[in-house]
Amino acid sequence: MKFNITYILILFGSIFLWSCENEITVELPKSEPVVVIDAWINNKPEQQKISVLKSIPYFENNFLPGLNDAVVTVEDLTDDLLYTFDKGEEEGQYIWEPNASQPYFGKIGNQYKLTVQLGSSTYESYSNMNRVPEIDSISYRFEKGNSFFPDSYFAGVFATDPIGPGDAYWIKAWKNGQFLNKPSEINISYDAGGSPGAVVDGIVFIQPIRDGINPFDQDENDEFLSPYSPGDSVYVELMSINYDTYTFLLEVATQTDRPGGFAELFAQPLANVSSNIAIASEATQATPVIGFFNVSAVSALGRRLDPDNLPVEKN
Amino acid sequence: MFTKAIKLFSVLLFISSTVWAEVNFTVQGFVKDQSSGEILIGSTIYVKELGTGAQTNVYGFYSLTLPAGKYTLEYRYLGYVTKQLDIELVQNQEMDVELTSENVQLEEIVINGIPEDQNVTSTEMSTVQLDIKTILKVPAFLGEVDVIKSIQLLPGVSTVGEGASGFNVRGGSVGQNLVLLDEAPVYNSSHLLGFFSVFNPDAVKDIKLYKGGVPARYGGRIASILDIRMKDGNAKKFGVQGGVGTIFSRLAIEGPTIKDKGSFILAGRRSYADILARPFTDVLDNGAKLNFYDLTFKTNYKFNHNNTVYLSAYLGRDKFLFDRNQGFSWGNKTATIRWNHLFGDRLFSNFTTFFSDYDYSLAFGENEMDRFEWNSRIRTVNFKPEFTYFINTNNELIFGGDLIYYTFNPANAIGVSDGVAVDISLDKKYAFESALFIGNNTKFNDAISAEYGLRLTNFQYMGPGNVYEWETIEVGKRKELVSEAHIDGRKSISSDINLEPRASLKVQTGSKTSIKASYNRMSQYVHLISNTTASNPLDVWTPTTNNIKPEIGDQYALGVFKNFGPNNDYEFSVEGYYRDTKNQIEYIDGAEILINEYLEGDLLYGIGKAMGLEFYLKKNTGKLNGWISYTLGSSELKVDGINNSEWYPARFDQRHNLKVVGYYELSPRWTLSANFTYLSGTPTTFPTDRFTQQDYLIPYNAFDSRNNVRIPNFHRLDISATLYGKKYKRDGRLRKNSDYWVFGFYNVYARRNPFSIYFSQGTDRPVPGMPIETFATQVSIIGTIIPAISYNFNF
């Protein structure tokens, strides 16, 4: 169970105004770059991209440099098909284009193998395209504000987890076309619940997951803004992910979502997130690799907050 | 191993109690404070003619068996008038003695508050005893006198940082300390995260911290035992004391129940931030709460000289509610019943039964259709018989047993989603711990004394419950479940036995110098599961199982103790220690430690070593009192799958730890005090590289190392001044009531001391098409000077 203690800490923080933060300059240990593979593909009828890149020093505020002479393929182990990803225009990017005979990538239930050949080194990984339920609905609700929060419109996404354990999801949301890309907005679910250890199954996504599509942005005075306003729209993609991917995203959230302040008391140590891409056994002396390969099935739905059809006010 | 150890023990016992044929008689009794009737723990009874003596135990009892004859007995206790009694020992005698406190001025008697030289003469080492008078003098955070904060000023004791719960002893973790309140364990000793401890100073009499050389009668944790004893309540007259501070208001009432038979104390504290804030904010209108309180009660009844019963109870709670239905709360409850019984003149016994319970609960969700409720608890009941046999002036044999029954309720949780309720509770876990112990405190001659003992412990992980078996697929990663079985009924699932030898030796090399050495093995069967920087109230205790092994610690310590000055004006000690530990618990990266049926699959086990040198110089006399404590230490762990399976420093590893505490009596009414703390930076993990996945920027440590750098050093000065109310009225008569003001400043030079450094991409929303900026941020939990004022009274 991953319990988000942040709100309690905001409360503490509001009482104890004596904690403070300073941005500091830190000398970090030097290291050799490693290969980074970013291979998240799905069954949407659109171009699929895989990136092969190189890591850079933590404080270098730049894009990762691309590795352009890789050979990238994804093999459908169930149906014995080979998808070749060709070098695209962008640095380190490899692309598979849908066509008339294959309007979208893959098939739900099938197993896939990623192979990336880079010089004499070969990297590989496996992933399944798991099932995904349809999104039942998206709704908005109005809540009156308090001293921490203004009068607000919240959005909620409703979907029902299919019966049977082991379904994991990444729920991605876009507000007015902009992806909610803060680390704190990573919204994942295991069998409609919060984690695999606390067993639930076959129910409507629990409230924290449903509400995980709301941005909590602040204005220039650090006052919270209403997540949505009349006229805004939300678009949600529900992506099936593998169990490994669920764990990975949970680790990414832990390592990147650092609210700071009092929350540091309860921070977990910095640790490397797990990769599911490995050096193929036959290769030796290959540059180490980090990254993730995941194949998703996607269902999607969007809704505009209609000012003429406001939901019932709730206190 | 067993038989060998037991043989050795018997031989030692035989040697030290060699035949004595004279006619012996026993003088025994209790030593108490004259004005309040409070028992005096550890007061000395010195037989002038023989140059030997005894000390009172935690119930104020002593027993001296001497050859028939005339003796002068001296009863001493620091800060009290020494009392001399001449006795003619021709038969067994009861001798209850009351000592007069220095503070009570009696005209004819010269105060003889010579500090005892116990730190040199006693066999004990690696222990510190603080009485509440000393604790009261130390400048306190927000003016709130705090038991746990004051022990952090002693050598070998540290903390992860300001605001962190608990304390670390000699490189051990917070969960490796056993905190006892009148013998009942307190599982979470903090209010408001770690800012305040749960013990009300008005109800505390005495605390003793065992960092090493732990006697056989204690066990259950590998780093330390903190033994807190509550006041019995004034047996002579009713009194009320209390205080109004920045955070708490305190009130305690005490008094006799039946004259010369019994007394009681009832003490309470409550924070009032929410009450003060109510007029200024509407946050609290819809049922929001923010408070913490505790209640301490103790009463005793003396049936006769041979039988006394004590009842103590504690209840404390922290509440943080956002509204009526949502929030977070936690608290401890303990109750202890003790019966002291004297079998004859030389066999003192105490039977303790306690109940201890720690729980927390969380609730979220604004309506019945969608909510989440979760609570967790650990409950302990115990029976502990303990006997002290005062063989002669040279031997004190302690033996007894300990039976503890644990009920762990890791999660009792229900989630309701869109009207559908799902019970996600985990099964309760049960365990039974038992121990037998025997120890002897012996004096071979004036110079050499020893305390040695054995503790035999057994821990049974009991059914009903689920039993899992795990297989490590990749070192340091989540383990794979290979089998699962359910055990019905109260059957033993796994059982562990450990024999824990304990020994301390003192060799006095001069009247004011001694050398001491000790060894102890401790085993720990219940484990605090925590993978965050500081322990937090949601951390769950879990038993040793078929997978989780008992933590074992072996500690060796050697020390030199020396007093200076005609009146033992200065005490000095230097101690070195080394402890190695087995089966220390660590966590896989991304471990799920809350509401996880498969927690065991996320745990890793390793070994640890901690070592250090502790210097302590204390000034006892004069207007300026205080101490300097310095520890040079290290604490490292080695766990397969963490830090490339190499040694790495523990999060609370600290190279230098310096504390200077001083109080100066400016005038009879004004006392100034100050303390200064200097700590080396604790280790943390820095990234080396960045990489991206789906446009998320992720830190990466190319060496896969843990705790590879240190945060900057910490130093802080606190000062306070105490103004005592006038002692005399205008007409020259003594005032019946007393009161005092405390004015204090915490972090006088407002240093922004680092708690941690974290690496993040900042709080702004990343802009698509732009690289993400990263920052290193240093967090100071208390980054400013904090003034405090409190008013305290006693009448």
Q: What is the pLDDT of residues B732-742, one digit of tens each?
A: 888 878 899 99
Closest partner residue to B531 (CB to CB) among A18, A268, A272 is A268
Residue with tokens 């008013």: B791
| Tens-digit pLDDT profile for residues B208-263 | 999 999 999 999 999 999 999 999 999 999 999 999 887 788 999 999 998 889 99
A312 CB within 8 Å of a chain B CB: no
**Pairing of β A35-42 and β A289-296:** parallel
Q: What mean pLDDT is predicted for residues B474-493? A: 91
CB atoms within 10 A of CB B505: 19
Query: Both B196 and B239 in a single domain?
Result: no
| Tens-digit pLDDT profile for residues A156-214 | 999 999 999 889 999 999 999 999 999 989 999 998 887 776 677 888 898 889 999 99
Contacts of B685 in chain A (CB under 8 A): 269-271
B779 CB within 8 Å of a chain A CB: yes
**First-to-last CA distance in chain A?**
29
Q: What is the pLDDT of residue A315?
A: 40
In the numeric block, which tokens belong to residue A85?
């990803």
Q: What is the pLDDT of residue B335?
A: 95
What whole-number distance in Å separates Cα of residue B486 and Cα of residue B134?
Answer: 53
- Considering A18-32, B69-83, B174-188, B525-539, the range whose residues carry the highest mean pLDDT is B174-188
Among B397, B411, B402, residue whose Cα is nearest residue B440: B397
Burial class (CB in 10 A: 0-12, 13-18, 19+), B301: middle
Q: Residue A5: which pLDDT band, with cuts at 50, 70 and 90?
A: very low
- What backbone torsions phi and psi does residue A91 show, to the nearest 5 degrees? -55, 125
CB atoms within 10 A of CB B236: 18
Q: How far does the CA of residue A101 sit from the closest CA of chain B (Å)?
A: 28
| pLDDT for residue A9 is more than 60 | no
| pLDDT for residue A81 is more than 70 | yes
Concatenating the DSSP letter of every residue in B132-163 gives HHHHHHS--GGG---HHHHHTTSTTEE-SSTT
Looking at residue B202, the DSSP 8-state letter turns out to be: G
Query: Both B264 and B316 in a single domain?
Result: yes
What order of strands is seen across the sheet that includes strand A56-57? Answer: A56-57, B689-693, B696-700
Determine, for residues A20 and B692 on separate chains, whether the beta-carbon distance falls below 8 Å.
Answer: no
| pLDDT for residue A66 is more than 50 | yes
CB neighbour list of residue A97: distance below 8 Å, 6 or more residues apart: A47
Q: What mean pLDDT is predicted for residues B63-69? A: 90
Amino acid present at B696: Y
Query: Closest-CA residue in chain A for B750?
Result: A18
In the numeric block, which tokens belong to residue B573?
């000690």
Q: What mean pLDDT is predicted for residues B541-563? A: 96
Coil, strand or helix at A139: strand
Residues B374 and B361: beta-carbon distance below 8 Å: yes
In the numeric block, which tokens belong to residue B623?
């207007």
Query: Both B106 and B164 in a single domain?
Result: no
Does B17 fall in a domain?
no
A29 CB within 8 Å of a chain B CB: yes
In the numeric block, which tokens belong to residue B51?
């140059």
| pLDDT for residue B197 is more than 60 | yes
B86 CB within 8 Å of a chain A CB: no
Query: Closest-CA residue in chain B for A248?
Result: B590
Q: What mean pLDDT is predicted for residues B511-528? A: 95
- Taking only residues 494 to 513 of chain B, the set having a beta carbon closer than 8 angstroms to any beta carbon of chain A reads none
Q: Residue A134: which pLDDT band, with cuts at 50, 70 and 90?
A: very high
Helix (H) or strand (E) run with residue B7 in it: helix B2-16
Query: Both B201 and B245 in a single domain?
Result: no
What whole-number distance in Å separates Cα of residue B37 and Cα of residue A77?
Answer: 84
Q: What is the pLDDT of residue A16?
A: 54
| pLDDT for residue B96 is more than 90 | yes
Does B629 fall in a domain?
yes
- Taking only residues 187 to 216 of chain A, the set having a beta carbon closer than 8 angstroms to any beta carbon of chain B reads 192-193, 195-200, 203-208, 215
| pLDDT for residue B302 is more than 70 | yes
Q: Residue B8: which pLDDT band, with cuts at 50, 70 and 90?
A: low
In the numeric block, which tokens belong to residue B381?
């009941």
Q: How far does the CA of residue A28 sit from the closest CA of chain B (Å)?
A: 6
Q: What is the pLDDT of residue B12?
A: 55
**First-to-last CA distance in chain B?**
58
Q: What CATH number is associated with residue B409?
A: 2.40.170.20
Concatenating the DSSP letter of every residue in B423-460 gives E-PPPPEEEEEEEEEEEEEEESSSSEEEEEEEEEEEEE
Query: Both B515 and B384 in a single domain?
Result: yes
Contacts of A173 in chain B (CB under 8 A): none
Last residue in a domain, options B180, B203, B227: B227
Q: How far is CA B22 from CA B65, B67, B68, B94, B753, in A?
A: 11, 6, 8, 21, 66
Select the residue from B285, B418, B643, B772 to test the A interface by mutation, using most A Cβ atoms within 10 A.
Answer: B418
Residue with tokens 């009596």: B665
Buried b (16+ CB within 10 A) or exposed e, B680-691: bbbbbbbbbbbb
B755 CB within 8 Å of a chain A CB: yes
Query: Both B155 and B260 in a single domain?
Result: no
Q: What is the pLDDT of residue A3?
A: 39
What whole-number distance in Å separates Cα of residue B178 and Cα of residue A187?
Answer: 40
Contacts of A256 in chain B (CB under 8 A): 696-699, 760-761
Contacts of B599 in chain A (CB under 8 A): 197
Q: What is the pLDDT of residue B157?
A: 94
Q: Residue B279: which pLDDT band, with cuts at 50, 70 and 90?
A: low
In the numeric block, which tokens belong to residue A191?
């069998």
The dihedral region occupied by A308, where left means phi > 0, alpha psi between -120 and 50, and beta the remainder, is alpha
| pLDDT for residue A253 is more than 60 | yes
**Pairing of β B480-487 and β B465-471:** antiparallel
CB atoms within 10 A of CB B670: 12
Query: Both B77 and B127 in a single domain?
Result: no
Polymer length of chain B: 795
B641 CB within 8 Å of a chain A CB: no
Residue percentage of chain A with pLDDT more than 70: 89
| pLDDT for residue B13 is more than 60 | no
What secondary structure, in 3-state letters, does B630-697 show?
Answer: EEEEEEEEEECCCHHHCCEECCCCCCEEEEEEEEEECCCCEEEEEEEEEECCCEECCCCEEEEECCEE
B647 CB within 8 Å of a chain A CB: no
Q: What mean pLDDT is predicted for residues B600-626? A: 93
A174 CB within 8 Å of a chain B CB: no
- What backbone torsions phi and psi does residue B661 show, to the nearest 5 degrees? -125, 130
Number of C-alpha atoms within 13 angstroms, CB side, residue B399? 10
Does B754 fall in a domain?
no
What whole-number distance in Å separates Cα of residue B389 and Cα of residue B387?
Answer: 6
Q: What is the pLDDT of residue B643?
A: 93
Q: What is the pLDDT of residue B296?
A: 96
CB atoms within 10 A of CB B667: 9
Q: Residue B115: which pLDDT band, with cuts at 50, 70 and 90?
A: low
Q: What is the pLDDT of residue B769?
A: 85
Query: Both B236 and B366 in a single domain?
Result: yes
A10 CB within 8 Å of a chain B CB: no
Q: What mean pLDDT is predicted for residues B169-177? A: 95
Last residue in a domain, options B64, B94, B114: B114
Q: How far is CA B633 from CA A273, B159, B200, B551, in A?
A: 32, 13, 31, 21
Closest partner residue to A20 (CB to CB) among B286, B424, B783 is B783
Does B13 fall in a domain?
no
A45 CB within 8 Å of a chain B CB: no
What whole-number distance in Å separates Cα of residue B785 and Cα of residue A18?
Answer: 9
Q: Residue A219: which pLDDT band, with cuts at 50, 70 and 90?
A: confident
Helix (H) or strand (E) run with residue B3 in it: helix B2-16
Query: Both B319 and B380 in a single domain?
Result: yes
| pLDDT for residue B112 is more than 50 | no
| Tens-digit pLDDT profile for residues B642-685 | 999 999 999 889 999 999 999 999 998 999 999 999 999 999 99
In the numeric block, which tokens belong to residue B302?
């003396």
Residues B304 and B340: beta-carbon distance below 8 Å: no
Q: What is the pLDDT of residue B108?
A: 39
Coil, strand or helix at B223: coil
Among A118, A95, A38, A104, residue whose Cα is nearest residue A76: A104
Specify which residues B503 forms β-bridges with: B452, B519
Residues B194 and B534: beta-carbon distance below 8 Å: yes
Query: Both B473 and B621 in a single domain?
Result: yes
| pLDDT for residue A314 is more than 50 | no
Q: What mean pLDDT is predicted for residues B177-204? A: 90
Does B774 fall in a domain?
no
What whole-number distance in Å separates Cα of residue A125 and Cα of residue A37?
Answer: 10
Query: Both B232 and B279 in a single domain?
Result: yes
Query: Closest-CA residue in chain B for A29?
Result: B688
Contacts of A61 in chain B (CB under 8 A): 771-774
Q: How far does the CA of residue B760 sit from the closest CA of chain A (Å)?
A: 6
Does B638 fall in a domain?
yes
B272 CB within 8 Å of a chain A CB: no
Helices (H) and strands (E) in chain B, counts: 5, 51
Residues B108 and B99: beta-carbon distance below 8 Å: no
Query: Both B541 and B393 in a single domain?
Result: yes
Query: Closest-CA residue in chain A for B705?
Result: A271
Helix (H) or strand (E) run with residue A249 in it: helix A243-256
Average pLDDT, chain B: 88
Q: CA-based angle A224:A225:A231, to the nearest 5?
A: 170
Q: What mean pLDDT is predicted for residues B356-384? A: 87
Residue percentage of chain B with pLDDT more than 70: 93
Q: What is the pLDDT of residue B386?
A: 96
Based on its alpha-carbon atoms, the radius of gyration of chain B, rounded to whole angstroms, reads: 27
Contacts of A262 in chain B (CB under 8 A): 163, 193, 781
Closest partner residue to B773 (CB to CB) among A53, A61, A217 is A61
- Taking only residues 178 to 207 of chain B, the set having a beta carbon closer than 8 angstroms to any beta carbon of chain A reads 192-194
Closest partner residue to B755 (CB to CB) among A5, A264, A292 is A264
| Tens-digit pLDDT profile for residues B319-362 | 887 777 778 889 999 999 999 999 988 999 999 999 999 999 98
Give how many domains chain B has, as a whole number. Answer: 3
Q: What is the pLDDT of residue A43?
A: 95
Q: What is the pLDDT of residue B192?
A: 80
Q: Residue B371: which pLDDT band, with cuts at 50, 70 and 90?
A: confident
In the numeric block, which tokens belong to residue B438?
């025997």
Contacts of B776 in chain A (CB under 8 A): 23-26, 59
What whole-number distance in Å separates Cα of residue B348 and Cα of residue B390?
Answer: 8
Q: How far does the CA of residue A291 sit from the closest CA of chain B (Å)?
A: 7
How high is the ipTM of this complex?
0.92
A–B CB contacts, 8 A cutoff, strictly below: 285
Query: What CATH architecture applies to the domain A35-130+273-296?
Result: Sandwich (2.60)
CB neighbour list of residue A300: distance below 8 Å, 6 or more residues apart: A135, A235, A236, A237, A238
Q: What mean pLDDT is predicted for residues B567-585? A: 94
Number of C-alpha atoms within 13 angstroms, CB side, residue B663? 17
| pLDDT for residue A147 is more than 70 | no
Specify which residues B421 forms β-bridges with: B416
CB neighbour list of residue B780: distance below 8 Å, 6 or more residues apart: A19, A20, A21, A22, B752, B753, B754, B755
Determine, for residues B283 and A146 on separate chains, whether the beta-carbon distance falls below 8 Å.
Answer: yes
B405 CB within 8 Å of a chain A CB: no
Based on its alpha-carbon atoms, the radius of gyration of chain A, rounded to whole angstroms, reads: 21
Q: What CATH number is associated with residue B48?
A: 2.60.40.1120
Determine, for residues A19 and B783 on separate chains, whether the beta-carbon distance falls below 8 Å.
Answer: yes
- Taking only residues 142 to 181 of chain B, the set having a beta carbon closer than 8 angstroms to any beta carbon of chain A reads 161, 163-164
Q: What is the pLDDT of residue B281?
A: 58
Last residue in a domain, options B93, B114, B135: B114
Select the residue from B173, B174, B478, B589 to test the A interface by mutation, using most A Cβ atoms within 10 A.
Answer: B589
What whole-number distance in Å separates Cα of residue A32 and Cα of residue A55?
Answer: 9
Contacts of B778 in chain A (CB under 8 A): 21-24
Q: What is the pLDDT of residue B132?
A: 81
Does B766 fall in a domain?
no
Does B153 fall in a domain?
yes
Q: Which domain holds residue B308?
A: 228-746+783-794
